[in-house]
């Protein structure tokens, strides 16, 4: 939800920079967009406590071997 909100604010800032012909507003919008992309957390549930494979990838590998 935070990603969508920040990208919306970034899009509005970039649009306003074209509307008001003030390039610094677009720069602020791009900075907000970069912050949104790099602070977005896409947590993946891990199957085992110390494992690195998710349940889905584990199932896909096992089904291809048969």
Report percent pLDDT > 90 for the chain: 26
Span 1-17, average pLDDT: 88
φ, ψ (nearest 5 deg) of residue 36 = -65, -40
pLDDT at 60: 77
The per-residue pLDDT of the chain, averaged, comes to 79
Model-wide pTM > 0.75? no
Domain range annotation of the chain: 1-29
Confidence band of 45 (pLDDT split at 50, 70, 90): low
């Amino acid at each position: 939800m935070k990603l969508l909100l920040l990208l919306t604010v970034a899009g509005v800032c970039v649009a306003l920079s074209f509307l008001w012909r003030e390039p610094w507003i677009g720069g602020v919008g791009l900075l907000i967009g970069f912050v949104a992309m790099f602070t977005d957390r896409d947590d993946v549930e891990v199957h085992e406590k110390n494992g690195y494979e998710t349940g889905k990838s584990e199932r896909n590998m096992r089904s291809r071997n048969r």
